[in-house]
Amino acid sequence: MFAAALLCGGAVVAAPVLDKQDAVETVEGPGIKFEKTVHDYGTIEQGADGNCEFVFENNGTEPLILSDVRSSCGCTVPSWPREPIMPGKKSSIKVHYDTNRIGGINKTITVSTNGNPERVVLSIRGTVNAKNQ
């Protein structure tokens, strides 16, 4: 390949290859980019671990602040960082769902920020089956 580049008068330049999923577009000001916005528990048993995590990155040029994180139901409790997230840094929102409730899971968590976008809606879903006695 190098010989072919010399014959054609071109230069060979080594550049890192980025997977499109790994490349995060930078925005002016604070920004927020989630690795995923939906967590599917699948089918779980009553009393199973109801914890999940939504990892995000500040893909902006200024500090990101999460001003509020609210769930659509009292059975879903989010916890989030209260300190500013610096540009290029990652953090996460942890969510606990009460798996003692039997039936379908279809809940949302609304994230309000000073960034771009200002609001992001996260979702959890799945099914909780009764525990076998």
The pLDDT score that the predictor gives to residue 23 is: 62
User: Is pLDDT at 9 greater than 90 in this prediction?
Assistant: no
Q: What is the maximum alpha-carbon separation in the chain? A: 76
The pLDDT score that the predictor gives to residue 50 is: 96
For the chain, where are the E strands, in sequence order? 33-34, 38-45, 51-57, 66-71, 76-79, 90-97, 103-113, 119-129
Measured at the alpha carbon of residue 53, what is the angle toward residues 113 and 117, in degrees to the nearest 5? 25
Give per-residue pLDDT as tens, 55-97. Answer: 999 999 999 999 999 999 999 999 999 999 999 999 999 999 9
Domains and CATH numbers, the chain: 19-129 (2.60.40.10)
User: Is pLDDT at 98 greater than 90 in this prediction?
Assistant: yes
Give per-residue pLDDT as tens, 15-66. Answer: 344 444 556 689 999 999 999 999 999 999 999 999 999 999 999 999 999 9
> Model-level pTM?
0.81
